[in-house]
Copies of this chain bind each other. A is one copy, B any other.
Amino acid sequence: MVMYQNGMGARRLRELPADEALRLLAGVPFGRIVFTRHALPAIRPVNHVVVDGAIVIRSSPGTILSSHLSSYVEPVEAVVAYEADDLDGYERLGWSVIITGVARLVAEPGEAARLRDLLTPWVAGEMEQVIRIQPEIVTGFELVPVAVTA
């Protein structure tokens, strides 16, 4: 007989295929961008859309990427991680998706305008920068109950 522990029972991680992971991420309105700032690990919650397989976010110039393509001070592209999840901390169920990829400023004005129309920042003002993250590594897991044979 196979029983499933519930409530506070143990969980195992079921690995999600990359396409399922991307679909889950695309189905939620926000995630968390992970980057390096002043040589320290940094993270910010941000809303997103997925367009043509890439994650699109908006940011204030100088936070994640420089506002100037010619900048020598701040990068105009950077390796970042992006995480989204839907986890129930009380039931201990849900999923998390983590993407690693290169974040690049969308500099072409027509393309930036098109993406701005698809993505209104939650926070008023100063989120003028449009950033596209091209996924290179996609990992995801689902928390599933551990089957107990009794």
Residues of A77-133 at the interface with B, using a CB-CB cut-off of 8 Å, are: 79-81, 83, 85, 87, 89-90, 92, 96, 98, 100, 120, 122-124
Q: Are A43 and B122 CB-contacts (below 8 A) given A34-B34, A89-B29?
A: no
Q: Is the CB of A85 within 8 A of B45?
A: yes
Copy number in the complex reads 2
Q: Is the CB of A92 within 8 A of B122?
A: yes
Shortest CB-to-CB span from A50 to chain B, Å, is 14
Q: Which residues of B contact A10 (CB under 8 A)?
A: 122-124
What are 11 pairs between A and B in contact, CB < 8 Å?
A: A29-B89, A30-B87, A30-B89, A32-B83, A34-B43, A36-B41, A41-B80, A42-B100, A43-B83, A44-B98, A122-B143
